[in-house]
Homo-oligomer: A and B are copies of this chain.
Amino acid sequence: MFENTQKTEIANLGEFGLIDHLTKNIKLNLDTTIKGAGDDAAVLDFKDKKTLISTDLLLENIHFDLAFTPLKHLGYKAIQVNLSDIYAMNGMASHVTVSLGFSSKFPLEAIEELYAGMLLACDKYQIDLIGGDTTSSRQGLVISVTSIGYADESDIVYRNGAQEGDLICVSGDLGGAYVGLQLLEREKQVFLANPKIQPDLEGKDYIIERQLKPEARLDIVDLLKKMEIKPTSMIDISDGLASEVLHITKQSKKGCKLYEEKFPIDPQTVEMARDFGLDPTVCALNGGEDYELLFTIKQADYDRLKHDVDISVIGYITEENAGNYLITRSGNAHELKAQGWNAFKSTES
């Protein structure tokens, strides 16, 4: 989705011209950046901190649909989903590299919008964009982002540290990004069937924003530091709660009990899910793309966060042999299964 009407051919700029054009507005703000874009490699200085590295690959028609995704939002989201991985280590994200592949038929202005969204995210989260690669693609838009951050070794939180009795917490609310996507896809089909019908998205801002413009939860990392709580394990929710909690219990060699009644789900998510005949709990468990933080804390830390409305305690860690279970509102126990996103099944089968 591209709204700027001016169209400049990229072939006329060439690769180096394009890179110069896109990078000339990049401001480097951080002490940790010694050298940004423009050499063979960027040079960073994390002094006595450990370096954190994470990377994601986003492909058109697999991870995003340009029919309903504004390019600026897409750029913003591409950065957020990467920063989220660094925050999930309880670290501070500081730098990103961005590689783009796109058709030479893409006008320059489209790439500028994508870049503008990326730079907006960088600006908001105090991130330096320090390099990348730009190439043509015969295969739709390709976005590869690597995020870099740092942390004191003693602050780093892995997936494998959950202990029996620890409380399982989640930030924000769940399932919204998934029902937002269902809504956007439905309105796309309506539009394709009859282009005169305008999309009906009124009153659905929240779930659409959850899908199109997620925010990585730096604020939760900051909040936990302020509360002097170091989670025992942490992961971000990209593939759905079920899949992520199973990563934690598998790597921690533990089990878990989750309570359906404790799941934080926004009323708009509940309403939209029911419109689609979906169970809101299933959307929360398997929907994915919420980019909230899922973490475990010692019971002793509970008093310090129990009044925070943005963090929900949704269950606890058990011993490994007890398995992984969801306790429903009616009191039944269902074994948790990772039904998260399987890109290899969902797209071509």
What is the interface of chain A, defined by CB distance below 8 A to chain B?
10-11, 13-16, 18, 34-35, 38-48, 50-57, 59-63, 84-86, 88-89, 91, 95, 97, 99-101, 103-105, 130-133, 135-140, 142, 144, 146-149, 151, 153, 156, 158-160, 234-236, 243, 251, 338, 341-345, 347-349
Contact of A104 among B158, B341, B349 (CB under 8 A): B349
Q: Are B55 and A138 in contact (CB under 8 A)?
A: no
Q: Are B55 and A156 in contact (CB under 8 A)?
A: no
Complex: A35 Cα to B338 Cα, angstroms: 24
A13 to chain B, nearest CB (A): 8
Q: Are B88 and A41 in contact (CB under 8 A)?
A: yes
A14 to chain B, nearest CB (A): 5
Complex: A338 Cα to B19 Cα, angstroms: 15
Number of this chain's copies in the complex: 2
Instruction: Supply 13 further A-B pairs (C-beta < 8 A) apart from A43-B52, A55-B99, A57-B99.
Output: A11-B344, A11-B345, A11-B349, A41-B53, A42-B54, A43-B50, A44-B50, A44-B52, A47-B48, A59-B139, A136-B347, A138-B348, A139-B140
Q: Are A61 and B138 in contact (CB under 8 A)?
A: yes
Q: A136-B344, A159-B40 are in contact. Are A54 and B131 (CB under 8 A)?
A: yes
For residue A104, which residues in chain B have a CB less than 8 angstroms away from its CB? 343-345, 347-349
Q: Are B45 and A348 in contact (CB under 8 A)?
A: no
A42: nearest residue on chain B (CB-CB)? B53
For residue A44, which residues in chain B have a CB less than 8 angstroms away from its CB? 50-53
Contact of A89 among B39, B100, B149 (CB under 8 A): B39
Q: Which of A99, A105, A146, A153 has the most CB of B within 10 A?
A: A146
A139: nearest residue on chain B (CB-CB)? B139
Contact of A344 among B15, B48, B144 (CB under 8 A): B15
19 residue pairs of the A-B complex, CB under 8 angstroms, read A11-B344, A38-B159, A39-B158, A40-B85, A40-B159, A41-B86, A43-B89, A45-B50, A55-B132, A57-B99, A59-B139, A59-B142, A61-B138, A136-B344, A136-B347, A136-B348, A137-B139, A139-B140, A144-B144
Q: A51-B46, A62-B101, A348-B103 are in contact. Are A139 and B142 (CB under 8 A)?
A: yes
